[in-house]
Amino acid sequence: MSASEGLEEAAGLYDTAAEDLEQAAKHCRTAARHFREQEVPRGAAHAWAALGHIRAAEDSLDAQARTHAGKSVP
């Protein structure tokens, strides 16, 4: 893989993480609205969806960290 391809791969992982975090924020706002309206099951569903997006973002960032660790010289 060329340096340019590696950088594009890294950028893609950060784009993916950002998209998932943006979705998580939207789900958090929706969950808050539902809880304020005392719609607990709907609020909880969105809260769990938010956590799922956060975990997906962590996966993207973990992949980038592992790539960096594999190329880093101590």
Tens-digit pLDDT profile for residues 65-74: 999 899 888 8
Output the pTM of the full model: 0.88
Per-residue pLDDT tens over the stretch 36-59? 999 999 999 999 999 999 999 999
| For residue 1, pLDDT beyond 80 | no
Residue 26: closest CA among 42, 50, 8: 50
How many residues are there in the chain? 74
Domain contains 72:
no
How many whole angstroms separate alpha carbon 46 and alpha carbon 59? 20
Domain contains 5:
no
Predicted pLDDT of residue 8: 94
Domain contains 4:
no
How many whole angstroms separate alpha carbon 30 and alpha carbon 45? 10
User: Residue 20 belongs to what domain range?
Assistant: 12-64
Total domain count, the chain: 1
